[in-house]
């Protein structure tokens, strides 16, 4: 009797391990299509881009790839070239500006929507630019920015001379940045609205009993408890801003005037598909990847440090 009990006790863990092993195989079997897609369309192209960054290739014929070492990176990171300045500087300014405008705007819009009736209607209204194509958004704003467009018409009525929003190098990049931020607000509003709804009402009720003003509630309750949603919005908006170039193609055509709106992703596109310099384009992609990765880590580090300080 005792021996049978011991044998059963020894067999039980083995049976559980066998069951877990079978479940693991079934899980990997179901994940196989997604993993295959991930490897073919993400991992392999990424590894190929790393290899191209150290090579010289004109495209199409893989047999013409030649090893170039660090020559592409030397060309890209040279201070005498155009990539570091103005292109990479433009990219950072475009990303920082669009993130700042979109984040501040989405926080204010989401907070205001929470105070209104028909909240679903307002969320859908602000989400419409996200659904619209970049070509449609770019062309509409391009017409509004024209010397005879809506914006200059309003400025003329106010006694201000017409501004070359897209033809003047001083205004071109800020003008495109505003459009990108405006188009990005809708998605951020949905995320922040969900974050606002997750904040318990009892905090606001307790603050109201203590006599706190709406402004104090916003700064002392809403923003601190909205930090996880804000962090997600900041990271995704930053990555989107650093990778964006379709809007610039639609609104300025070639990154002009005089490279004023040329950004890293657009320069990569031109080097690869216009000039056939795939090695240079891949080196630019690697530099942009490092920049995005470093900024994302910095954002996470700052958020974690501030979270520890306030906890």
Closest to 217 measured CA to CA, from 229, 237, 193, 201: 201
Q: Say if residues 180 and 90 touch (Cβ distance below 8 Å).
A: no
Give percent of the chain above pLDDT 70. 91
**pLDDT tens-place string over residues 85-138:** 889 999 999 999 999 999 999 999 988 888 888 888 888 888 888 888 899 999
Note the pLDDT tens digit of each residue in 182-203. Answer: 999 988 998 998 898 888 889 8
**Cis, peptide link before residue 257, omega less than 30° from 0:** yes
- pLDDT higher than threshold 50 for residue 308: no
Q: Decide if 102 contacts 189 (C-beta within 8 A).
A: no
Length of the chain: 311
Residue-wise pLDDT tens digits, 267-302? 999 999 888 899 999 999 999 999 999 999 998 888
Give me the chain's average pLDDT, please.
86
Instruction: Name the class of domain 81-310.
Output: mainly alpha
pLDDT, tens digit, for every residue of 162-182? 899 998 889 999 999 999 999
Query: What is the pLDDT averaged over residues 252-256?
Result: 84
- Which pLDDT score, from 0 to 100, does residue 310 have? 41
Residue 311 has what pLDDT?
42
- 63 band by pLDDT with thresholds 50, 70 and 90: confident
| Boundaries of every domain in the chain | 2-53, 81-310
DSSP string, the chain: -HHHHHHHHHHHHHHHHHHHHHHHHHHHHHHHHHHHHHIIIIIHHHHHHHHHHTEE--SS-GGG-EE-TTHHHHHHS-TTSSIIIIIIHHHHHHHHHHHHHHHHHHHHHHHHHTTSS-HHHHHHHHHHHHHS-HHHHHHHHHHHHSTTSHHHHHHHHTTPPP--TTTSHHHHHHHHHHHHHHHHHHHHHHHHHHHHHTS-HHHHHHHHHTT--HHHHIIIIIHHHTHHHHHHHHHHHHHHHHH--HHHHHHHSSS-STTTT--HHHHHHIIIIIS--HHHHHHHHHHHHHHHHHHHHHHHHHHHHHHHHH-
pLDDT tens-digit map of 11-24: 555 555 565 567 77
Q: State residue 309's pLDDT score.
A: 43
Q: What percent of the chain has pLDDT over 90?
A: 41
């Amino acid at each position: 009797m005792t021996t049978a009990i011991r044998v059963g006790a020894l067999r039980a863990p083995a049976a559980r391990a066998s069951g877990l092993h079978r479940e693991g195989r079934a899980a990997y079997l179901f994940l196989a299509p997604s993993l295959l897609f991930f490897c073919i369309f993400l991992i392999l192209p990424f590894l190929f881009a790393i290899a191209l960054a150290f090579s010289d290739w004109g495209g199409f014929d893989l047999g013409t790839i030649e090893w170039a070492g660090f020559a592409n990176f030397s060309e890209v990171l040279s201070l005498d070239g155009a990539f570091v300045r103005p292109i990479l500087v433009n990219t950072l300014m475009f990303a920082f500006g669009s993130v700042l405008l979109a984040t501040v705007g989405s926080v204010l819009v989401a907070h205001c929507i929470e105070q209104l009736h028909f909240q679903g209607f307002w969320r859908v209204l602000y989400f419409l630019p996200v659904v619209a194509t970049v070509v449609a958004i770019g062309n509409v704003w391009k017409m509004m920015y024209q010397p005879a467009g809506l914006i200059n018409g309003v400025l003329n009525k106010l006694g201000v001379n017409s501004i070359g929003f897209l033809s003047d190098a001083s205004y071109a990049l800020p003008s495109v940045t505003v459009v990108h931020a405006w188009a990005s607000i809708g998605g951020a509003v949905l995320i922040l609205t969900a974050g606002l709804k997750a904040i318990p009402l009892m905090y606001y009720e307790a603050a109201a009993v203590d006599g706190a003003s709406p402004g104090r509630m916003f700064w002392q309750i809403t923003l601190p408890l909205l930090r996880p949603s804000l962090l997600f919005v900041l990271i995704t908006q930053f990555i989107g801003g650093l990778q964006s170039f379709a809007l610039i193609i639609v609104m300025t055509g070639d990154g002009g005037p005089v490279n004023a709106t040329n950004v890293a992703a657009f320069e990569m596109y031109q080097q690869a598909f216009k000039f056939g310099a795939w090695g240079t384009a891949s080196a630019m992609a690697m530099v942009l990847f490092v920049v995005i990765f470093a900024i994302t880590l910095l954002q996470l580090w700052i958020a974690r440090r501030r979270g520890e300080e306030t906890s």
